[in-house]
Protein backbone atom coordinates (compact mmCIF):
# COMPACT_ATOMS: atom_id res chain seq x y z
CA UNK A 1 0.00 0.00 0.00
CA UNK A 2 1.40 3.34 -0.92
CA UNK A 3 0.09 6.84 -0.66
CA UNK A 4 0.03 9.89 1.46
CA UNK A 5 1.04 9.42 5.06
CA UNK A 6 -0.90 10.57 8.06
CA UNK A 7 0.58 13.20 10.28
CA UNK A 8 -0.39 12.59 13.85
CA UNK A 9 0.65 14.59 16.89
CA UNK A 10 0.53 11.88 19.51
CA UNK A 11 2.09 8.48 19.90
CA UNK A 12 0.08 7.16 16.97
CA UNK A 13 1.97 5.99 13.93
CA UNK A 14 0.56 7.05 10.62
CA UNK A 15 0.19 4.26 8.11
CA UNK A 16 0.84 5.09 4.53
CA UNK A 17 -2.42 4.23 2.86
CA UNK A 18 -4.38 5.78 0.00
CA UNK A 19 -6.55 8.79 0.70
CA UNK A 20 -10.10 7.61 1.22
CA UNK A 21 -13.55 9.06 1.70
CA UNK A 22 -14.22 10.66 5.06
CA UNK A 23 -16.88 12.84 6.61
CA UNK A 24 -15.79 16.16 7.96
CA UNK A 25 -18.08 19.03 9.00
CA UNK A 26 -21.12 17.93 7.05
CA UNK A 27 -19.46 15.32 4.84
CA UNK A 28 -17.45 14.87 1.72
CA UNK A 29 -14.97 12.53 0.15
CA UNK A 30 -11.67 12.90 -1.63
CA UNK A 31 -13.08 12.25 -5.04
CA UNK A 32 -16.20 14.36 -4.69
CA UNK A 33 -16.27 16.43 -7.86
CA UNK A 34 -17.35 19.38 -5.76
CA UNK A 35 -14.27 19.36 -3.64
CA UNK A 36 -11.43 18.45 -5.93
CA UNK A 37 -9.45 17.63 -2.85
CA UNK A 38 -7.57 14.36 -2.71
CA UNK A 39 -6.01 14.94 0.67
CA UNK A 40 -8.52 13.78 3.24
CA UNK A 41 -6.19 12.22 5.74
CA UNK A 42 -5.97 13.62 9.23
CA UNK A 43 -4.46 17.06 9.31
CA UNK A 44 -3.59 17.89 12.90
CA UNK A 45 -3.69 21.51 13.80
CA UNK A 46 -5.36 22.39 10.56
CA UNK A 47 -2.16 22.04 8.62
CA UNK A 48 -2.17 21.38 4.93
CA UNK A 49 -1.20 18.38 2.93
CA UNK A 50 1.74 16.44 4.16
CA UNK A 51 4.03 15.36 1.38
CA UNK A 52 6.76 14.16 3.64
CA UNK A 53 7.79 10.53 3.36
CA UNK A 54 6.31 8.15 5.92
CA UNK A 55 9.54 8.04 7.89
CA UNK A 56 9.05 11.63 8.99
CA UNK A 57 5.45 11.29 10.03
CA UNK A 58 4.37 11.92 13.59
CA UNK A 59 6.48 11.29 16.61
CA UNK A 60 6.76 7.56 16.26
CA UNK A 61 7.62 5.08 13.59
CA UNK A 62 5.76 4.97 10.35
CA UNK A 63 5.00 1.80 8.51
CA UNK A 64 4.04 1.25 4.92
CA UNK A 65 1.93 -1.79 4.29
Burial of 15: CB neighbours in 10 Å, binned 0-12, 13-18, 19+: middle
**Could you tell me the smallest distance in angstroms from the CB atom of residue 55 to another protein?**
15
d(CA 22, CA 29): 5
> What burial class does residue 63 get, using C-beta atoms within 10 Å of its C-beta: 0-12 exposed, 13-18 middle, 19+ buried?
middle
Closest approach of Cβ 56 to another protein, in Å? Answer: 15
Tell me the closest approach of the beta carbon of residue 43 to another protein, in angstroms.
Answer: 6
By CB under 8 A, name the binding residues for another protein.
1, 6-15, 17-30, 32-34, 40-46, 60, 63, 65
Kindly tell me which of 23 and 51 has the beta carbon lying closer to another protein.
23
Amino acid sequence: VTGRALKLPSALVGLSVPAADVCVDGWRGPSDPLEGDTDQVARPGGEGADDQPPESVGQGRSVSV
